[in-house]
Amino acid sequence: MSAKTGRNGGARLSRRHRRSRPAPPPLLLLAAAVAGLVAAGGGTAMAVEKDVTLDTDGARTQVSTFGGTVQDVLDSAGVELGEHDAVAPSPDTPVSSGDHVIVRSPRTVTVDLDGHEHVHRVNAATLGEALHQIGLDPQGVELSRDHDTPVPEDGLSVSAERAPRMVVMYDTVRSETRTTGGTVQDVLDSAGVEPGEHDLVSPEPEEPAEPDMVVRVVPVLGAPETEEVVIEAQTVERENPDLPEGEREVVTEPEDGLKEVTTALVLRHGEEVEHELAEEVVTEPVQGLVEVGTKAGEDASAPSPPEGGAAGLDWAGLAECESGGDPAAVNSAGGYYGLYQFSTSTWASVGGSGLPSEASPAEQTRRAQQLYDAVGGNWQSQWPHCGVHLFD
């Protein structure tokens, strides 16, 4: 390309002077079609002057021309294209006022990528423009120079290191990307994934990015819904040695609590499922307390043991109440076994070995009778609920 006097009068800037200006980002716009105006009545064609922005290797000038094509703009600016120069739009494209024409001459960019040197011929004014032409994702490499670094006529050398590889899983859709960004949000941006307002992102967007990390996005379908849910209060029992055995006294009434639960339909493995997004306790439940008396005392209503001692009692009736008559029964809460629901410690205290539920029915009955005699007939201390059946 060489400078010359413009056809419309006035010396044009030489290419050297044009390059000395600051290099703004290139404006890649296609030229628009332009039509000539025809004078009414006389039938004589009138040329219309157009103002077009010409960006030559990053230096911009305003060019006025009466011509109608990109080539006319170049001619008016005194720019002659070299054999390997690139121009956009093409020279025969019509232009209108306000259009932009870009000219790029060939340059050499040498990239030392991960220790391997690569030489590229590009038509670019800046390193950022060159990256796309040599097939490097600007977000996928960390460079020794800024993207807006000009590429001089004698070429530019930079070192580059590939950014760590990341994966974004949008439900079942996998996207791989590379980025030097420092947060999970940078990873999402690099992968071109924009989560919805309520989508669940893990790790959260503000968390730091890590090499080879997998970011998971669970799509939320529709707006979440919040409802109030009752928290049922529990009641516990506490022994009171001062309260007559078998009596119960309410110390604290239980009070249910309340919580707000937010749920939404989400897409998980391609299926729509309900998912709990958040839970907030509004009021805590109050635990109830009941005291149970353990004080032993004479009970006039209690039946007297029959003559003949323990052997004369209705042990089958007791077994039916305690275990349903099943010698191998095990209490669902654990810790009590056999026909008479012995604990292992009580079983051992009357000479039993192993588990009561593993002994024969005859041995279990014999041990139960031994226990009855050992506590002096105080059946209430051993079978407080079912012991009355011994006297059926």
The span from the CA of 343 to the CA of 355, in Å, is 9
> Quick one: pLDDT at residue 333?
73
Tell the CATH superfamily of the 223-293 domain: Resuscitation-promoting factor rpfb. (2.20.230.10)
The pLDDT-based confidence of 227 (bands split at 50, 70, 90) is: very high
Dihedral of the CA atoms 359, 360, 365, 366 (nearest 10)?
-80
Adjacent-strand bridge partners of 244: 295
Using CA atoms, how far apart are residues 31 and 28, in angstroms rounded to an integer? Answer: 10
CATH class of 107-162: alpha beta
Euclidean distance between CA atoms 79 and 54, whole angstroms: 10
pLDDT in tens, 274-305: 999 899 999 999 999 999 999 886 444 445 54
Is residue 339 scored above 50 in pLDDT?
yes
User: Per-residue pLDDT for 255 more than 90?
Assistant: yes
Contact (Cβ atoms closer than 8 angstroms) between residue 120 and residue 133: yes
The architecture of the domain spanning 304-391 is Orthogonal Bundle (1.10)
Options 3.20.20.120, 3.10.20.30, 3.40.1390.30, 2.40.40.20; CATH of 15-104:
3.10.20.30
pLDDT band at 54 (very low <50, low <70, confident <90, very high): very high
Summarised one tens digit per residue, pLDDT across range 58-113 is: 999 999 999 999 999 999 999 999 999 999 999 999 999 999 999 999 999 999 98
pLDDT at 40: 30
pLDDT, greater one: 87 or 331: 87
pLDDT at 311 over 90: no
pLDDT in tens, 113-167: 878 899 999 999 999 899 889 888 887 788 889 999 999 999 999 998 888 889 9
Whole-number pLDDT of residue 179 = 86
Angle, vertex CA 225, rays to CA 183 and CA 217, nearest 5: 25
The average confidence (pLDDT) of the chain is 83
Which candidate, 197, 187, 150, places its Cα nearest to that of 25? 150
User: What band does 238 get if pLDDT is binned at 50, 70 and 90?
Assistant: very high
Question: What are the b/e assignments for 309-325, b being 16+ CB within 10 Å?
Answer: ebeebebebbbbbbbee
DSSP-H helix ranges across 137-224: 184-191
Could you tell me the CA-to-CA distances from 61 to 56, 74, 101, 124 in Å, in that order? Answer: 8, 11, 10, 17
- The percent of residues in the chain predicted with pLDDT above 90, rounded, is 64
**pLDDT over 50 at 14, yes or no:** no
pLDDT, tens only, 352-370: 999 999 999 999 999 999 9
The pTM for the full model equals 0.40
* 3-state SS, residue 327: coil
